[in-house]
Amino acid sequence: MESLKLHGRTGALALLTALSLLLVGGALPARAESDAAKSQKTTDHESAEAQTFLEYLDSDTINDEAVPQQDDQQTVALYRSAAEMGNAKAQFKLGLMYAQGRGVPQDDKQAVDWYRKAAELGQPDAQYTLGQRYERGRGLPQDYKHAVNWYRKAAEQGYARALSDLGVMYAQGRGVPQDDTQAFALFKKAADRGFPDAQFNLGSIYAQGKGVPQDDPQALALFRKAAEQGQADAQYTLGVRYDQGRGVPKDDKQAVDWYLKAAVQGYARAQLNLGVMYANGDGVPQNDINAYAWSSLAAAQGDTNAVSNRDIIADNLTPEQRVAAQAFVAELQARLDNMR
């Protein structure tokens, strides 16, 4: 079949492969106790439980997977006990519970209040999160200068996400004078700590030669590091590189591989290009139903080229194929939603 003239792609995975990537008591007391004794023992137990939680909070590892197993309301109670003792990690985690509405009614004001308490005690997760809140205007008036201030405090502690986001603020001149040199330095620090967004941004700087000598091999190495950690921009960029043979030998199968990795994360341009690969049979067996499905997913995100491609592909489908294609789109979207 003649290659369709579709938009988006400049320049072997079967359906089963695509789908496979989408499936991812104590003894009774000897005698009754007085109310005072019961109260004291309850208090002692609660204090001991709070102390155990404090030891967990003071450990090097703090994340939702490591938290002692409790239901959300019990977890909130433990966080609150430790937070009221002035434990900054507990204050931050209590803020998260309010932000997510877990164990308490969702309350952005309470979330921000606890983030701020923790941030003022120097807790870097809270400092970074408060910076995000100011940058996005969520629960607080949008204020880029305050965002930069809190990003900087976390960055000074080596917090990779804060280093990276502070770099973005300098690159875009938000809350600070625009400064490519500062942006580069911050991205490099974060990239050296293995943070994938910073690796992608640093790779983009090397690829463009923006403020540094242009260095395509270095750019490619950084894109690959980020892509291998699941960074969707980098995965899409590697797909384009292999599609066009830029800095690497042209390899349609590799292009499809990287487009697919980004596409299943909802990356519209990767979905668009993957649809073109299926339509033209480049790197995969030609398949109009798959082409229609991926183009439809990109079109649903407002990509006008994908809308055009979807309609061109639809004109080549029989009525039976259109029914099958639309059913596949619904199934694919449901599987993608379940992955998030």
| Per-residue confidence (pLDDT) for residue 211, from 0 to 100 | 86
| Per-residue confidence (pLDDT) for residue 69, from 0 to 100 | 46
| Per-residue confidence (pLDDT) for residue 54, from 0 to 100 | 56
| Per-residue confidence (pLDDT) for residue 187, from 0 to 100 | 97
Low-confidence ranges of the chain (pLDDT < 70): 1-70
**How much is the pTM?**
0.78
What top-level class would CATH report for the domain 231-340?
mainly alpha
| Per-residue confidence (pLDDT) for residue 58, from 0 to 100 | 56
Residue with tokens 């931050």: 92
| Per-residue confidence (pLDDT) for residue 176, from 0 to 100 | 98
Per domain, the residue ranges of the chain are 231-340
